[in-house]
């Protein structure tokens, strides 16, 4: 059968409104609790993969450089694909992000979602969306959600093999319009990656059991708020859940403090705007960036206010967008 062995896919980052923080299985990368996110229209990863019998090893190129960073994780992911496709072909992977990498902007979410979709297309596997979500999860838990556009819920699942741990779409991007403004407060990679941060939290934070008991309640409330397209309720729940995640991480030993002084100043700026009657809320992931959520008509006012916070480097803007998709398939 003549089939393409190369494909290019794009996927965008997603922002969790109810966070994923903790695993029930490290080897299969199974989350301990569910999570809910919104996939964005920008903060994009574009990945081209080519399986090629002329290659003696996988070649990973990141933004045009052959970097060692993240390579082992990508090779392990390609091994899963090779097992599934029953092939021993090595791959050339070229990937580009249009946003700062590994600084709490979920580059692993868009990265592994794009890689999963590109590999599926290149190898002609014909995986369903749920299967793609499971595959992306093996690369990075948050990537399972970026397979889908709009609002998505990651299910923790119960099966030991992870066959029920995948994301499902819960609302289209148009269902609840919002703007996400990312106040970038630092460049460069964070010191403690999410995988290590979660492990440390699970094993040392006395608050971890409380977190796992709370998340199902936050998920239930968030599902209703999204169903009702109630931006205020979504914002309140997202901010509360984010602070709960940081509280459990702060309780780890050594503690995980992902914020810098500008992070805190931007949080205060959001609270100040709210005090003036603006509908705006923040969320923060495992990094120092502050993500403000507001109605699209308030975006320029909020962006101006965030840009004026001393230490804020730039403010990126995004709205809900589509899921991961193939952008070109070239027959070999």
Q: Give me the residues paired with residue 153 across strands.
A: 36, 168
Measured from the CB atom, the residue of 20 and 151 that comes closer to ligand 2P0 is 20
22 binds ligand 2P0 (CB under 6 A): no
Give the x/- contact pattern for ligand 2P0 in 134-153, rule: CB under 6 A. Answer: ------xxx-----------
Residue nearer to ligand 2P0 on the CB measure, 120 or 153: 153
- Contact segment (CB under 6 A) with ligand 2P0 among 14-22, 200-208, 219-227, 270-278 equals 14-22
Contact mark string toward ligand 2P0, 178..217, x via CB under 6 A:
----------------xx----------------------
- Cα–Cα dist 143/154, whole Å: 10
Q: DSSP for 118-144? A: HHHHHHT----HHHHHHHHHHH-TTHH
Using CB under 6 A as the binding rule, whether residue 40 contacts ligand 2P0 is answered as no
CA distance 53 to 24: 37
Kindly list the distances between the CA atom of residue 170 and the CA atoms of 154, 175, 220, 222, 283, in Å, as whole numbers in the listed order: 10, 10, 12, 11, 20
User: What does the block give as tokens for 248?
Assistant: 């459990």
Q: For residues 302 and 292, is the Cβ–Cβ distance under 8 A? A: yes
| Closest C-alpha to 106, from 182, 166, 33 | 182
Subset of 280-309 contacting ligand 2P0 (CB under 6 A): 285-286
Report the run of H or E that residue 291 belongs to, with start and end.
Answer: strand 290-294
Pick the piece of the chain touching ligand 2P0 (CB under 6 A) from 18-26, 48-56, 126-134, 215-223: 18-26
Interface of this chain with ligand 2P0, residues 87 to 116, rule: CB under 6 A = 106, 108-109
237 binds ligand 2P0 (CB under 6 A): no
Task: Return residues touching ligand 2P0 (CB under 6 A).
Answer: 16, 19-21, 29, 35, 106, 108-109, 140-142, 194-195, 285-286
């Amino acid at each position: 059968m003549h089939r393409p062995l190369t494909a290019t896919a794009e996927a965008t980052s997603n922002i969790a409104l109810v966070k994923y923080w903790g695993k029930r299985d490290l080897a299969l990368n199974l989350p301990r609790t569910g999570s809910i996110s919104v996939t964005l229209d920008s903060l994009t990863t574009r990945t081209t993969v080519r399986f090629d019998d002329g290659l003696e090893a996988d070649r990973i190129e990141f933004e045009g450089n052959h970097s060692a960073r993240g390579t082992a994780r990508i090779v392990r992911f390609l091994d899963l694909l090779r097992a599934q496709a029953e092939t021993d072909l090595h791959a050339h992977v070229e990937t580009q992000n249009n946003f700062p990498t590994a600084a709490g902007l979920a580059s692993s979410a868009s990265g592994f979602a794009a890689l999963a979709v590109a590999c599926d297309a290149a190898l002609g596997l014909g995986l369903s969306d749920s299967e793609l979500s499971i595959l992306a999860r093996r690369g990075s838990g948050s990537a399972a959600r970026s397979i889908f556009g709009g609002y998505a819920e990651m299910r923790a699942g119960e099966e030991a093999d992870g066959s029920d741990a995948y994301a499902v779409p819960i609302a289209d991007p148009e269902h609840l319009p919002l703007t996400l403004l990312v106040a970038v407060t630092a460049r460069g990679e964070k010191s403690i990656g999410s995988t290590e941060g979660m492990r440390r939290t699970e094993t040392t934070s006395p608050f971890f059991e409380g977190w796992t008991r709370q998340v199902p309640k936050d998920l239930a409330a968030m599902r209703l708020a999204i169903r009702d397209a109630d931006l205020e309720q979504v914002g309140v729940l997202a901010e509360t859940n984010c602070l709960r995640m940081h509280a459990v991480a702060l309780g780890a030993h050594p503690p995980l403090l992902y914020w810098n002084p500008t992070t805190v100043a931007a949080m205060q700026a959001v609270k100040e705007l709210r005090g003036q009657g603006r509908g705006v809320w923040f969320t923060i992931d495992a990094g120092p960036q502050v993500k403000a959520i507001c109605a699209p008509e308030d975006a320029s006012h909020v962006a101006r206010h965030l840009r004026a916070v001393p230490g804020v480097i730039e403010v990126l803007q995004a709205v809900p967008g589509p899921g991961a998709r193939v952008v070109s398939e070239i027959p070999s």
